[in-house]
Homo-oligomer: A and B are copies of this chain.
């Protein structure tokens, strides 16, 4: 079951979806990211790897401007989505986030029923015209997140009463229900057992057909399995970015190599 790194690059299209140029992030005085430049491609799974606290989540949150909600956070530099600067004054972060969905590192289900958790996004975006359609979206999303079987009889129970892994999958279901163009996933499988992990990985692969997926993971194998591109972060720097196969087999930066081989953390 533990596949070897999937080296086959199944990139069907290589349009750049997101371009980051000179991104710097500060929390108050402290700089958390230094001068990150990266191109995230469409129809591609990009993995962010790196030791804990190196700035992966921080960068991820830049991509859909979730950093706006942290009072002390300040973002500099330029991030383009389909060529448009998302930090432009005219850009509505709401619209941006509808396009760039996110699964957070700590599962944060709403204190609502499981159904309402998933139905929330489609409702506010007006994705459905009838209750039946909504039901279908909810079911489909839960199925894709590999949660349907466990919760189909308790859709009206609170999402907060689920186990840790279930909550995580609920959050994944919630994110894909809104059909974003880019999906940012911050350690989506950290609380999942291998089978559920495999299912989510399968989902990610499937999503790639139409979207761009960015995934933060600590599992080198997972990065290797699901991603086509990998970015390695270290101490707030994007050290290396390239084809996953390349990074894992032939990293150009010594830090990357040491991390992959387990020498720095």
Q: Which residues of A contact B (CB under 8 A)?
A: 1, 27, 49-53, 57-58, 72, 105-107, 146, 150, 161-166, 168-169, 186-187, 190-199, 218, 220, 259, 261-265
Contacts of A164 in B (CB 8 A): 52, 57, 105-106, 186-187
Chain B residues with Cβ below 8 Å from A50 are: 193
Docked pose: A264 CA to B149 CA in angstroms:
13
Number of copies: 2
Contact of A150 among B53, B168, B186 (CB under 8 A): B53
CA distance A198 to B45 in the complex (A): 27
Q: Which of B1, B27, B163, B264 contacts A53 (CB 8 A)?
A: B163
A220–B192 CA distance with the chains assembled, in angstroms = 12
Alpha-carbon gap, A192 to B53, bound state (A): 9
Task: Return chain B residues, CB-CB under 8 Å to A197.
Answer: 218
In angstroms, Cα B220 to Cα A259, docked, is 22
Candidate in A49, A72, A164, A262 with the most chain B CB atoms within 10 angstroms = A164
User: In the bound complex, do residue B166 and residue A52 qualify as a contact, i.e. CB atoms below 8 Å apart?
Assistant: yes
Decide if B52 touches A161 in the complex (CB within 8 Å).
no
CB distance from A162 to the nearest CB of B (A): 7
Task: Check B52 against A165 for contact (C-beta < 8 Å).
Answer: yes
Known: A106-B107, A106-B164, A161-B27. A51 touches B195 (CB 8 A): yes
Residue of B nearest to A50 (CB): B193
Query: Do A192 and B106 form a contact, CB below 8 Å, given A27-B161, A164-B186?
Result: no
What residue of chain B has the Cβ atom nearest to residue A154's Cβ?
B30
- B264–A195 touching, CB < 8 Å: yes
Structural contact, B106 and A199, CB atoms closer than 8 A = no
In order of increasing CB-CB distance, the 4 nearest A-B pairs are: A195-B265, A52-B165, A1-B262, A190-B190
CB distance from A128 to the nearest CB of B (A): 28
- Who on chain B is nearest to A264 by CB? B195
Q: A161-B27, A218-B191 are in contact. Are A196 and B51 (CB under 8 A)?
A: yes
Q: Is the CB of A53 within 8 A of B162?
A: yes
- With CB as the reference atom, state the residue of chain B lying closest to A168: B52
Which B residues are CB-close (under 8 A) to A53?
150, 162-163, 165-166
CB-defined contacts of A169 to chain B, threshold 8 Å: 52
CA–CA, A186 and B150, complex, Å:
21
Which of B58, B192, B263, B265 interacts with A196 by CB under 8 Å? Answer: B265
Chain B neighbourhood of A52, CB < 8 A: 163-166, 168-169, 191-193, 196
